[in-house]
Structure 1
């Protein structure tokens, strides 16, 4: 401390500040009333200091938690595009996006892939003028990922960038071997979207995602792949919700958890985790859909501060599905793409790696999420792993309980902007949908559904 300051300002600890709060509010219970219980299962304090990081029951030190965070600033702006039956029109749309701020692309392929030469011709038309060694393209093949990769290898016979975002677990060993010469094309994917969209807490998302990754790694190592082959080819795809600080901590905790998890394998090197973040469908509102812009911006900002490598911002009218007019879709695609651009060009978030490091609040949340998620992950493993815990109903029951708690909070007064407050019903929003791939055995929900 500066000698001049030390003569006028004596050091104070957290307890002194808490006493001052009670004095200012004239309430001896003021601190207690400012605490709140998070859905993740721990208590959030109204005020954090360095003491919380020094005295908390943390498994890792803040420095250890920071060491596994992303060290390179920036992210790929990768908007998502569901494709039509017109490959040439889709190609124009994708190339236009790349000239208007997109760094990469996320495309959803048909669930009925063309066979053999037809698939090659279709992909050739779709990717005409897009070089996958320069532009990362992430594919969501709704079926037969192996056929897609085989066609890609013919269309683009060089090192690919991007990857596969389907986490069905089928053909993963084959696609991983087939793209071994393209280390930046990731084929081992696990996502949290099915948990998030069913209503899971951040703790549940992290724990169940890690359990699913453990099951997948077990099957792939049994298929003859080594852990050193798998980790660099892994992409974790995460939904980011509206709880701003918690979502920042969730992405940071994910890196800590996967590092802790990978430590139980005979890994020969250090491989940075690759995270794809997508703004939430669960919190979208079909009534007053323009309010989704507010949510998407907050979620995108949390994602980049949390350290995502790829960011997909969903268009504000994606919740309307085919009801959105072509003109509106063009506008909403442009706005979604530009949210990421603005975070770079006007907010300069791409200039600093791990900007949340050192925040007493976020560091504490990161450690609390890490500990709670790891404990729940071990519970799942004791039940025989993710598949067994899902089949037994354990995972579904836990998420259902969390969802009902979220709904009840809205019934008790929690505001959903554009739904329970500041609402303006749009004529086109009579039958909203949640677009995207199916979530398997877990229900695909939106929090606003019961109030629209």
Structure 2
């Protein structure tokens, strides 16, 4: 059966569209094609066209891109909580699970002394994945196996490279610690102990290309150290968790996550690994959040959440809208709203019913491939400089990120809109703002783009 009204609206290829552009737009004074004025140079180092058709898919490795994507729909709704009191926090955690959380992230206190039996009372880690942030991984895992002597689900969000960048302290024995906890939990294949994250790059102002490239470079350094300590590449891949921030640039963020999976396949090929299904955790960005208008962050969180799930995350943490505001707000309400954003996208938008919904999109498939190639080229540049640690120490990585951040600031000064900050602003708080969590020891600044304009 022919499409309705096909005789009235015949097929038009891209060349016909380009001819119409040339006809309707005046040539520039420099003699350039009018079409060139419609092309968009991105911060990521490549140019995006204003219009794509099926013809633009012909030159892409489409089968390779789509084969790398997650094949099973759905994601885990994973709220994060800072633990201060095992008994009261335990009650809140169980309530969160009852109200729609699929998993949990627990940010443990710096002290190793914590009563896990109280904290995890009523939570079975073989059913509900729990991810932990701790400064004492070895002692913690020993205690955890005592409290939960069965196969665990979840993992450790402990990234040695991030710890070095935050503290300025040498990595030292951190890799040995990762190797030890990986071996200690070998009987729990769904408890991941090797973590590489992009949050520090993202919050310092990196582009999507830089986030992907530097994440791969930090993972390569970690794999090299861990294989030297006797772990096989198959052991590493099975235990790896990648944690990525997702910003407000909707289509670019969708493509970023899809490109990450393609890059991981290419990356692991170099290690002769047949596995490529690494677990990807995403969290909404604090870099783009506004402190003076925290309710505007609900819009950002919704956009970021949609980008994360359409991009194929395995787990998602939505930050409460007041995370950076520094105000005394109703945290229970803010936590519930954050948790419900993910629930709404499942229960009302049905985004958990389709795997890789971006597949076949003329624009997104091209954007994915452009990110793959630009990030891979930058990753190879870092490797030529000796890997992540050396490229950071010689100033290459921080210099690249600083340049990207300044470009973002300059764009806002030139008129680019930050909703609730430079336009549509009605301050909701005059309290002291949480401008940055950067410390004097930190090797990368922890920034908010809006901070310079509030």
Shorter-chain TM-score above 0.5: yes
Gaps of 5+ in 1: none
1:288 match: 293
Tell which deviates more after alignment, 45-54 or 4-13: 4-13
Give the alignment's TM-score, normalised by structure 2.
0.92
Aligned equivalents of 1:282, 1:4: Cα separation in 2? 47
Q: Once the 2 structures are TM-superposed, how far is the Cα of residue 18 of structure 1 from its aligned partner? A: 2.0
Pair 1:266–1:413, CA change in 2 (3 A): same
Aligned equivalents of 1:182, 1:36: Cα separation in 2? 47
Pair 1:308–1:438, CA change in 2 (3 A): farther
Which of these residues, 160, 172, 175, is aligned with residue 152 of structure 2?
160
2:167 match: none
Q: Once the 2 structures are TM-superposed, how far is the Cα of residue 222 of structure 1 from its aligned partner? A: 0.4
Q: Once the 2 structures are TM-superposed, how far is the Cα of residue 4 of structure 1 from its aligned partner? A: 9.1
Pair 1:6–1:424, CA change in 2 (3 A): closer
The answer to whether the 8 A contact 2:204-2:444 is kept is: yes
Aligned equivalents of 1:3, 1:204: Cα separation in 2? 44
Pair 1:440–1:177, CA change in 2 (3 A): farther
2:319 match: 314
Pair 1:434–1:339, CA change in 2 (3 A): farther
Q: Once the 2 structures are TM-superposed, how far is the Cα of residue 187 of structure 1 from its aligned partner? A: 0.5
Q: Once the 2 structures are TM-superposed, how far is the Cα of residue 431 of structure 1 from its aligned partner? A: 2.3
Q: Once the 2 structures are TM-superposed, how far is the Cα of residue 34 of structure 1 from its aligned partner? A: 1.9
Aligned equivalents of 2:445, 2:56: Cα separation in 1? 38
2:391 match: 389
SS in 1 for 2:316: strand
1:359 match: 361
Aligned equivalents of 1:402, 1:184: Cα separation in 2? 37
Q: Does 1:347 align with 2:336?
A: no
Give the alignment's TM-score, normalised by structure 1.
0.92
Aligned equivalents of 1:405, 1:385: Cα separation in 2? 26
Aligned equivalents of 1:239, 1:437: Cα separation in 2? 20
The answer to whether the 8 A contact 1:21-1:30 is kept is: yes
Quote the RMSD (CA, aligned, Å). 2.0
1:52 match: 56
Q: Once the 2 structures are TM-superposed, how far is the Cα of residue 33 of structure 1 from its aligned partner? A: 2.3
Aligned equivalents of 1:242, 1:105: Cα separation in 2? 24
2:333 match: 331
Pair 1:3–1:202, CA change in 2 (3 A): closer
2:168 match: none
Aligned equivalents of 1:271, 1:369: Cα separation in 2? 19
Q: Once the 2 structures are TM-superposed, how far is the Cα of residue 147 of structure 1 from its aligned partner? A: 1.4
**CA displacement 1:272-328 (0-9 Å, x = unmatched):** 12100000010010011100000000000000000000000000000024x333xx1
Aligned equivalents of 2:3, 2:336: Cα separation in 1? 54
Q: Does 1:150 align with 2:149?
A: no
SS in 1 for 2:325: helix
Aligned equivalents of 1:3, 1:73: Cα separation in 2? 30
Q: Does 1:424 align with 2:429?
A: no
Q: Once the 2 structures are TM-superposed, how far is the Cα of residue 9 of structure 1 from its aligned partner? A: 5.2
Aligned equivalents of 2:442, 2:131: Cα separation in 1? 21
2:261 match: 255
